Amino acid sequence: MDYIQVIEDGAILTGTTTDLIIDLDKQEKAIKKAKEEVWNALKEEMEKKGIKKIESDELLINYIASTDRETFDKKAFQKEHADLFDEYVTMKPVKASIRVKVK
């Protein structure tokens, strides 16, 4: 199935491709929201009941308490120590991708 049609001044999406993308985006958002609600409810209940681990044949759920995380301010370091920063920067290949934004 072709999703894109090439025309004189560019390209357009064919047939129901736009509708398909919008529908998939809506489904993804609904699933993410439902998942987040269930995960938050599980976390709150585990926290309230003092449960650290739930394990079955299909699942393993671990409660991880809140903590502080040490982070590195890359932008500030690069600004203040540009020469040192450049010595340690390495380039890694990134595979091609597309970005789709549903308005």
pLDDT in tens, 77-89: 999 999 999 999 9
Q: What angle do CA 49, 32, 40 make, to 5 degrees?
A: 15
DSSP symbol at 92: -
Average pLDDT over residues 46-70: 96
Tell me the residue ranges of DSSP E strands in 1-103: 4-7, 10-13, 53-55, 60-62
Q: How many CB atoms lie within 10 A of CB 51?
A: 13
Share of the chain above pLDDT 90, in %: 90
Q: pLDDT tens across 3-14, in order?
A: 999 999 999 998
Predicted confidence at residue 15, as pLDDT, reads 82
Predicted confidence at residue 103, as pLDDT, reads 79
At 15, the amino acid letter reads G
Q: Please state the domain extents for the chain.
A: 4-88
Q: Would you call 28 helix, strand, or coil by DSSP?
A: helix
Average pLDDT over residues 47-74: 96
